[in-house]
Amino acid sequence: MDRNRTEGMKREIKGAIKEGAGKLTGNKAREVSGNIEKNAGKVQKAVGKAADRARAGAK
């Protein structure tokens, strides 16, 4: 498994928690920051999946 997949998943979870905390406290800046981090994690995870598929196809 590609490192980007695991790091992306961690980043996605961290962002979701931050976004939830922002919603709970009414802190829009934290909510937006968490949303951005969550989406960046999704992108990073997708890059990792693509790298895994490329490696599997090269074998």
pLDDT, position 28: 98
Among 17-21, 28-32, 51-55, name the one with the lowest average pLDDT: 51-55
pLDDT at 58: 83
Q: What HEC string does the chain produce?
A: CCHHHHHHHHHHHHHHHHHHHHHHHCCHHHHHHHHHHHHHHHHHHHHHHHHHHHHHHHC
Indicate whether this model's pTM tops 0.95: no
Q: Which domain holds residue 18?
A: 3-58
Res 15: pLDDT: 98
Closest CA to 51 of 13, 14, 7, 12: 7
Which tokens in the block code for residue 51? Answer: 């790298």
Q: Please, what is the end-to-end C-alpha distance for the chain in angstroms?
A: 15
Tell me how many domains the chain contains: 1
